[in-house]
């Protein structure tokens, strides 16, 4: 059995604050160039596993096992979090309860018995054309072969939830952050077992600024060594000039919190759109620490041709340098 103290620091935890300043890496981490992901590569999450890093992401391609599926989870492996090798097969496909059509936005955490749980967004299109999203989960012993767990982790009759991030709390509980796409906000829910979640009162992040006037969603939450929290999240705004795909610009913003519930937004943009890979959109962030003490943010990127790939950016300071900056909090 893995101790709670170990689980608490295994994912979504950094002793030092990665901060607000990032430099985009020259090459994409994952290009949509394989038979399973030629349609798109989206929504990355990275976990330390098997002596390296495993990146899980949402994808769609011509060689999908189920022709009716329009989204599923794939993976890639890296020793250095820079060069990635795609792994064969589909990790978790659509078709199960609450996810008849699509699975998006994987988030993977370790459990006390040594297994892994993946939280993700399941989507089902109804006969009238409406789309409903719920948070579902799957279980794996090795991080490669996944089996869906029964029931929904978060769902409501009149709300679609997506883009989950689940943390082990310091009270040996689970806190799930998710996007409420009907009310255009990020909310949280709490659980004693990681399966049955209850919404917590209040809103973590709401649409309040011009550059996030279309949507705020896809939180990446980090507990920090001083007990506080940092969130990176996506904000979208309408952009009719985008020539391909959805007519929006996406950027990555940040917020801080003492307790993980009440959040205060930072004024600056962390990752702006406008680069080679993300001219239209930068969205769906996740952050890991690197062996040299710096941090790397992976995110989905869309160019003006409508091509979606996984890009990355690296922090401008290392964890040691960040600790030495007075008043950084």
Question: Which helix (H) or strand (E) is 321 found in, with range?
Answer: helix 319-323
What is the predicted pLDDT for the residue at 276? 95
Q: Which residues, other chains included, contact 36 with Cβ-Cβ below 8 Å and sequence gap of 6+?
A: 59, 61, 63, 64, 74, 90
Cα separation of 170 and 237, whole Å? 36
pLDDT per residue, tens digit, the chain (329 aa), is 788 889 999 999 999 999 999 999 999 999 999 999 999 999 999 999 989 999 999 999 999 999 999 999 999 999 999 999 999 999 999 999 999 999 999 999 999 999 999 999 999 998 888 899 999 999 999 999 999 999 999 999 999 999 999 999 988 999 999 999 999 999 999 999 999 999 999 999 999 999 999 999 999 999 999 999 999 999 999 999 999 888 999 999 999 999 999 999 999 999 999 999 999 999 999 999 999 999 999 999 999 999 999 999 999 876 655 454 434 44
pTM: 0.95
Indicate whether 188 belongs to any domain.
Answer: yes
DSSP character string of 96-152:
BTTBSSEEEEEEEEE-TTS-EEEEEEEEEE-TTS-EEEEEEEEEESSSSS-EEPSS-
Residue 117 lies in a domain: yes
The CA distance from 190 to 289, in Å, is: 26
Q: Which domain holds residue 314?
A: 4-13+21-322
CB 75 within 8 A of CB 55: yes
Nearest one of 253, 257, 245, 86 to 188, comparing CA atoms:
257
Number of domains in the chain: 1
Q: Is residue 328 part of a domain?
A: no
CATH, residue 80: 2.115.10.20
Q: Which of 37, 40, 123 has the alpha carbon at shortest distance from 86? A: 37
Report if residue 329 sits inside a domain.
no
> Please, which residues have CB within 8 angstroms of residue 22's CB and are 6 or more apart in sequence?
270, 271, 297, 313, 314, 315, 316
Does some domain include residue 67?
A: yes
Classify residue 178: in a domain, yes or no: yes
What integer pLDDT is reported at residue 185 of this predicted model?
A: 98
The owner of tokens 């993300």 is 278
């Amino acid at each position: 059995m893995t101790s709670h103290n170990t689980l608490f620091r295994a994912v979504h935890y950094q002793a030092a604050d990665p901060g607000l300043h990032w430099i985009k890496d020259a090459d994409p981490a994952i290009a949509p160039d394989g038979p399973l992901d030629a349609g798109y590569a989206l929504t990355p999450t990275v976990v330390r596993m098997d002596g390296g890093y495993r990146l899980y992401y949402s994808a769609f391609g011509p060689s999908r096992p189920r022709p009716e599926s329009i989204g599923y989870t794939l993976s890639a492996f890296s020793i250095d979090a820079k060069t990635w090798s795609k792994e064969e097969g589909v990790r978790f496909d659509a078709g199960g309860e609450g996810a008849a059509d699509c699975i998006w936005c994987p988030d993977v955490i370790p459990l006390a018995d040594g297994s892994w749980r993946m939280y993700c967004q399941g989507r089902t299109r109804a006969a009238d054309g409406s789309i409903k999203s719920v948070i579902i989960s799957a279980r794996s012993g090795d991080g490669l072969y996944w089996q869906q767990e029964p029931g929904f982790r978060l769902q409501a009759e009149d709300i679609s939830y997506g883009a989950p991030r689940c943390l082990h709390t310091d009270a040996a509980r689970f806190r799930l952050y998710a996007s409420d796409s009907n009310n255009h906000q990020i909310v949280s829910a709490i659980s004693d077992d990681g399966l049955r979640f209850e919404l917590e009162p209040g809103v973590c992040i709401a649409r309040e600024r011009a550059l996030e006037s279309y949507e705020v969603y896809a939180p990446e939450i980090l507990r920090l060594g001083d007990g506080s929290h940092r969130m990176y999240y996506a904000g979208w705004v309408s952009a009719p000039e985008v020539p391909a795909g959805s007519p929006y610009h996406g950027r990555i913003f940040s917020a801080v919190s003492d307790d993980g519930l009440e959040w205060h937004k930072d004024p600056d943009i962390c990752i702006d759109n406008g680069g080679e890979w993300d001219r239209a959109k930068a969205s769906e962030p996740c952050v890991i620490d690197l062996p040299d003490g710096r941090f790397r943010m992976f995110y989905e990127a869309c160019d003006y041709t409508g091509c979606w790939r996984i890009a990355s950016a690296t922090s401008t300071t290392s964890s040691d340098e960040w600790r030495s900056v007075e008043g950084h909090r």
